[in-house]
Amino acid sequence: MGRDYISAIVAAKEAFSSGKTKDVKFRKQQLQKLFKCVRDNEVRWCEALKKDLNKSKTEAVSAEIILVNNEIVTAIKNLDQWVKNEPKKKELATITADIYTRKEPFGTCLIMSAWNYPFLLMLAPMIGAIAAGNCVVIKPSECAAHTAKLLQELLPQYIDPTCYPVIVLDAKDSADLVTNNRFDFIFFTGGTAIGRIVMKAAAEYLTPVVLELGGKNPCFVDDSCDIRNTARRICWGRFLNTGQLCLCPDYVLCSQGVRDKFVEEIKLALKEFYGSDPKHSPDYGRIINERQTLRLKKVIESGAGKIVVGGEVDVKERYVAPTVVTDIPADSAYMQQEMFGPILLVVTVKDMDEAIAVVNSREKPLAMYIFAKNKKLVNKILSNTSSGGVTVNDVVMHYVPHSLPFGGVGESGMGAYHGKHTFDTFSHRRSCLVDGNPEFFNSLRYPPHSQKKLSIIRLVLMKNMQKPGFVAFLQSLVGLALFGVLIACAVRLFVQL
């Protein structure tokens, strides 16, 4: 697309200035058209995801298309309620005022998605941005080339191409996009290194950002849990999308007594899920490109740790076998980066206290998983750690409910989205007060000041820490008296009319 994207950005800004996207009816129409785009072209979306990541149809539909479908339906059904002004609690000084927050769009937003779930991670935040009344510059990842090309082809056929332009850029132009253009809001999904670049560029204009990043997600496995079920669930989550998922359990923390049994159950689960040779399984994906495959190959061949399952790599085929590694040194390459591939690390600890210490010695992760029957232990881990989100006795599933905000903390990101949370993220909550005080009420704040005025101001406005008593009672009486005076004035005016 080259530098042609500049004109698309300018047109989107002009479209927003026209007020077109602020019309709730228009927003609903666009969401309905997007819904049609998703449903009409399911076969083509699945084909593109197959070409990019070798995703099976089941995984493409269940982990991407259905989630986008449901986000659209949720937004359309609830938009009328979401856009309403929210009344806020009044205080004595503003008892006659109308106090509320308005939900207003930021303007022209940039959404940059990642390549691992190129359909879901592009459209899910975009739905909330449209619902909130923004124009959106849509920038899919060029690494998932087939999906990006299809987004660029299909979206303009359904939704307004001026308000929601799709631009596909190479790495250089992508960097220029955020450093040389001013947006009203930026939503970025990707790695921490690029996230820092995006945030630095946004800081130049004090542009608000949401960063959906990642990290090494720990998985606590207590001796009390059902090891077979635990292994199956972790196996599913770790090797979903060939491990290219920011929510994947990255490393397991368990005792020596549990480790060997856990590894054996992982082997059984892998055979059940992908057969004796995952390379030929129709349900096992591929790494996005050769560069990422070589990165994983280098980590596996680093010599650190003991490979107890897998380890095979075929760079030409972009294939990395499901791999499990034990006896991992803390300073190894395995522990210095997010795997973002089909490698499960098993770290042995003395007890869960040591496991907590291991987690807290690292950056805050996007997700955390706890397998334990003991509720006190679960609460102890929750109380003594921090992460973007948590699933207990399963993995990944806290991503699914629209009622839960999804996002990171610290190095794993900032901001959150999903369902109404996405709408809120892309909305500026504008505080509004419409005054209703008669002028004589305001005389207390006007000069000339006096001790008498100050005494009344203290009595009416100053809050106290003590429990309700005489002072609170007196304040209530004053409030009622003032309100009574106001009513009397209103009645008098009405009678005079």
Nearest to 397 by CA among 111, 74, 62, 116: 62
How far apart are the C-alpha atoms of 230 and 249, rounded to whole Å? 12
Pairing of strands 135-139, 108-112: parallel
Burial of residue 448 (number of CB atoms within 10 Å: 0-12, 13-18, 19+): exposed
How far apart are the C-alpha atoms of 309 and 278, rounded to whole Å? 12
Catalytic residue among 212, 265, 338, 411: 212
- DSSP class of 351: S
Q: State phi, psi for 81 to the nearest 5 degrees.
A: -75, -40
Pairing of strands 306-309, 251-254: unpaired
Are the CB atoms for 121 and 406 separated by under 8 Å? no
Are the CB atoms for 278 and 321 separated by under 8 Å? yes
Catalytic residue among 109, 135, 163, 246: 246
Are the CB atoms for 117 and 111 separated by under 8 Å? no
How far apart are the C-alpha atoms of 249 and 254, rounded to whole Å? 13
Give the number of other Cβ atoms within 10 Å of residue 436's Cβ. 12
Nearest to 338 by CA among 437, 218, 169: 218
How far apart are the C-alpha atoms of 115 and 306, rounded to whole Å? 30
Is 64 an active-site residue?
no
Are the CB atoms for 270 and 243 separated by under 8 Å? no
Are the CB atoms for 184 and 109 separated by under 8 Å? yes
Q: Which residues of 367-404 are buried (b: 16+ CB within 10 A; e: fewer)?
A: bbbbbbeeeeebebbeeebebbbbbbbbbbbbbeebee
Is 212 an active-site residue?
yes
Nearest to 38 by CA among 76, 7, 9, 84: 76
How far apart are the C-alpha atoms of 269 and 240, rounded to whole Å? 13
With a CB cutoff of 8 Å and minimum separation 6, the contacts of 269 are: 231, 232, 235, 236
Catalytic residues: 212, 246
